[in-house]
Amino acid sequence: MTRPAVRVILVRHGETRENKEGIIQGQRNTALNEVGEEQARMVGERLKAEKIDWLVSSDLQRAVKTAEAIQMHHADTKLETDRELRERNMGDMEGRPGRDLRGGQMSGGETVGGFRGRVVGWWKRRVVMRGDGLKTVVVCTHGGVITTLVEALVGSRRAGAGAGAGAGAGVRITRSCPNASLTVLEVGADGTATVLVYADVTHLSLTSDSSADFQPHTRDVT
């Protein structure tokens, strides 16, 4: 029997003080600020009509609090946390201004390859190789995780993240992934993933229809 396609909604956590001030967070357990809390509420409103089969989050509180705002509308859905969904470990750069990373040497953190391997490995084990009939998965995580995963899926069949991937018609993919944005992937029976929506933030607009269906779009989010 062919496994039905699985839709995966990747949610970046709401804003933190460190996001606003340009501070490198990495795996520091930073909290949402007031803007981030409101963004999380809007994400929850946006996803309240979804039938969520699995809700999973990074165990860092900025992601967990965003996930809890979603779970509020899905009382029968258990929230699972997974440390494999944490942001890249930035070693001694954590807590420093982002400009320091451009000219400095990082010590004690994850390499780019190591981080990519962790993210893609999680995807293979927890999404591609599952066979328990999931239809809609919501993953609350971090900007680095989302951009790294999408880059691996779309940019390289050698990433081992299934049988390759592509972007749906009209979808523009950039390296930017704003706070509280939504990225939607569809995973076929063979593990092939298609990016249907990338870094959508229309739900954060006070004039947007929070119950509208997801639509592929071409808006540049850089």
Catalytic positions are 13, 87
| 28 marked as part of a ligand binding site | no
| 13 marked as part of a ligand binding site | yes
* Residues in CB range of 18: below 8 A, 6 or more apart: 24, 25, 28, 30
Cα 24 from Cα 41, distance rounded (Å) = 24
| 16 marked as part of a ligand binding site | yes
| 17 marked as part of a ligand binding site | yes
| 14 marked as part of a ligand binding site | yes
* 123-139 burial code (b ≥16 CB/10 A, e <16): bbebbbeeeeebebbbb
| 36 marked as part of a ligand binding site | no
Residue 32 is given by DSSP the state: B
- Virtual torsion, Cα 139, 53, 221, 144, nearest 10 deg: 10
| 15 marked as part of a ligand binding site | yes
Mark the binding-site residues for substrate, compressed into ranges. Answer: 12-19, 62
Mark the binding-site residues, compressed into ranges. Answer: 12-19, 62
